[in-house]
Chain A
Amino acid sequence: EDKVVQSPLSLVVHEGDTVTLNCSYEVTNFRSLLWYKQEKKAPTFLFMLTSSGIEKKSGRLSSILDKKELFSILNITATQTGDSAIYLCAVSSGGSNYKLTFGKGTLLTVNP
């Protein structure tokens, strides 16, 4: 059975701090790893990673994938209160449908 494990499950920081969120996976026939941000409603897409060692960046957020160690990290620098959310890691695997398996998420709270 495909498995995606995120850590920590929750994290509380102050504005301006830098955080690193972790995601490890065990899946059959890996295709890609995705990061989503979920606030009150449905997840919004952040990154899709398919190749090892290539960092993807968007503003203060960045992410990298290690396919040898089956691991990804999501970094957020200079955190702001608006970064408070649940960050979900998902892995696309399997056959023609490329279904996503989600981790339980990391609840990030950024205090002013």
Chain B
Amino acid sequence: GAVVSQHPSRVICKSGTSVKIECRSLDFQATTMFWYRQFPKQSLMLMATSNEGSKATYEQGVEKDKFLINHASLTLSTLTVTSAHPEDSSFYICSARVGGVGGTQYFGPGTRLLVL
């Protein structure tokens, strides 16, 4: 149980284009999902908290207009990197929380984004 998928697993795009990453909880419903970014040899940095049916909560320093988050259902959250630039190249990982507040977060397999 508690399986989270992400799509795509890898994407290469040109500078200036937008990229959408999907995060799905496959065998449970998740009111809350989280989006993280991980640079090489660095730890996971929380970007935003995604709540179903409401606006995402962004961490300090994360541009909400650049990283658009939509959590339209209890099993799907999407992250759109708008007008991507090379410095946005990173490993993006989502997690979904099981069982509500205080529950364990289970992670998706991640999406590696390379912006040329």
Chain A residues close to B by CB (< 8 Å): 31-32, 34, 36, 41-45, 48, 88, 90, 92, 96-105
Contact = CB atoms under 8 A, between A and B. Distances in A.
A41 B46 contact: no
Nearest to B49: A97
Contacts of A103: 43
Contacts of B95: 100
Contacts of B43: 88, 102-105
Contacts, number: 51
A100 B34 contact: yes
Binding site secondary structure of chain A? strand
Given A41-B109, A43-B107, A98 B101 contact: yes
Interface of B: 2, 6, 32, 34, 42-46, 49, 51, 57, 93, 95, 97, 101-102, 104-110
